[in-house]
């Protein structure tokens, strides 16, 4: 029996406009093939929203977000904000606000390497083969939301790194529950030798670990974790970490998958889920039709699984992506110039190939 779901699509900025269309088309195809009823609405956020309304997250978009079952998001950001840090209204404020308003405290980033992309990474294939990591990054605490100060003479600045016990408890439990369904290994990453916020983090994780005696728990400092991630990625299963450290580590981990253009993510809390590729707005290639749509398509697969409980449909999408790669089709970011049987194509052609394999 089919399900009825309302999905808000927020393409956002830059290549978000190009890749999100293919995530939506995949969801539409799944709905048709499996007799589901997905109703789509669209909202604006980020730079395009600032240009249109002066607000990076307009009330209308937030209202739609509160009333939907899941959100498919593209990216936010624009070079003008990178080049002028004094601007008070910024695209990223929209993303931070929607996370806070919807209670999206856990960011899940699966780092799973398709065998066909072993050569796309800068890391040796023998180190990569078999890597399968699930990151749990806390989203509503840390320096992103702590008090920010700048001295009157503009020569001193500070950002408060802050965590509350309940914030650590709730994401730790989600990570442990996920570890139970995988290899039953969890690595908590912090900087407890230096930071008081990390000492609280480690203390709370140690307490929660007692509730999951079947899961092997390891604690690792962020600097060591960054090294081990490229030295021996197969040692990790579930990685639990704070907002700032998770932001950095998951970008580093994109090299395991071959490209940021391959990495999907889910931001979840206790209700609505928010699904997005991790690659950002990439304005240097926006409008050129060369962006990789696979991360958006894989984000749609995550939505089907996590928010809708449609595991068969989710796996079908992943298999369609895998089949597309097996056939040798590549976007520029994952192409191997030394391989003759690769067919390098643009965003729309790659998206169309996945749809072909989905039908």
Question: Residue 124 catalytic?
Answer: no
Among residues 5, 174, 191, 353, which one is catalytic? 191
pLDDT at 256 over 90: no
The pairing of beta strand 329-330 with beta strand 343-344: parallel
Question: Residue 4 catalytic?
Answer: no
Question: Residue 144 catalytic?
Answer: yes
Predicted pLDDT of residue 339? 61
Mean pLDDT for the chain? Answer: 94
The pTM assigned to this predicted structure is 0.87
In the structure, what pLDDT confidence band is assigned to residue 82 with cuts at 50, 70 and 90? confident
Question: Residue 223 catalytic?
Answer: yes
Among residues 144, 176, 212, 275, which one is catalytic? 144
More confident call, 348 vs 280? 348
pLDDT at 200 over 70: yes
Question: Residue 142 catalytic?
Answer: no
Predicted pLDDT of residue 121? 80
pLDDT at 338 over 80: no
Predicted pLDDT of residue 106? 95
Among residues 4, 82, 223, 270, which one is catalytic? 223
- Own/partner contacts of 317-323, CB < 8 Å, gap of 24 or more, are 317/26, 317/30, 317/358, 319/357, 320/26, 320/354, 320/355, 320/357, 320/358, 321/114, 321/294, 321/297, 321/354, 321/357, 322/114, 322/116, 323/357
Task: Look at 42-46, 81-85, 224-228 and tell me which has the smallest mean pLDDT.
Answer: 81-85
Cα Rg for the chain, rounded, in angstroms? 20
Percent of residues, the chain, with pLDDT higher than 90: 80
Task: Look at 46-60, 182-196, 316-330, 331-345 and tell me which has the smallest mean pLDDT.
Answer: 331-345
């Amino acid at each position: 029996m089919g399900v009825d779901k309302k999905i808000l699509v927020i393409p956002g900025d830059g290549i978000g406009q190009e890749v999100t269309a293919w995530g939506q088309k995949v969801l539409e195809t799944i709905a048709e093939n499996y007799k589901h009823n997905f109703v789509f609405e669209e909202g604006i956020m980020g730079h395009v929203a600032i240009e249109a309304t002066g607000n990076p997250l307009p009330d209308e978009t937030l209202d739609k977000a509160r009333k939907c079952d899941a959100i498919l998001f593209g990216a936010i950001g624009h070079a003008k904000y990178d080049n002028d840090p004094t601007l008070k209204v910024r695209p990223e404020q929209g993303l931070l606000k929607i996370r806070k308003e919807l209670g999206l405290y856990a960011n899940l980033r699966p780092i799973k390497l398709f065998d066909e992309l072993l050569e796309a990474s800068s890391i040796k294939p023998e180190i990569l083969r078999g890597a399968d990591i699930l990151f749990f990054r806390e989203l509503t605490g840390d320096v992103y939301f702590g008090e920010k100060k700048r001295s009157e003479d503009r020569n001193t600045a500070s950002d408060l790194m802050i965590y509350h016990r309940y914030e650590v408890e709730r994401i730790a439990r989600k990570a442990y529950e996920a570890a139970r369904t995988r290899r039953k290994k969890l690595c908590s990453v912090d900087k407890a030798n230096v930071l008081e916020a990390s000492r609280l983090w480690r203390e709370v994780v140690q307490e929660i670990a007692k509730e999951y005696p079947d899961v092997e728990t390891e604690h690792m400092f962020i600097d060591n974790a960054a090294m081990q991630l490229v030295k021996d990625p197969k040692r990790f299963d579930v990685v639990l970490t704070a907002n700032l450290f998770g932001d950095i580590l998951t970008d580093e981990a994109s090299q395991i998958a071959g490209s940021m253009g391959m990495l999907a993510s889910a931001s979840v809390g206790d209700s609505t889920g928010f699904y997005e590729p991790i690659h950002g707005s990439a304005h240097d290639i926006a409008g050129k039709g060369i962006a990789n749509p696979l991360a958006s398509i894989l984000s749609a697969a995550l939505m089907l699984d996590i928010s809708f409980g449609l595991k068969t449909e989710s796996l079908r999408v992943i298999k369609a992506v895998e089949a597309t790669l097996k056939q040798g089709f590549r976007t520029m970011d994952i192409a191997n110039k030394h391989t003759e049987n690769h067919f390098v194509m643009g965003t729309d052609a790659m998206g169309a190939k996945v749809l072909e394999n989905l039908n």
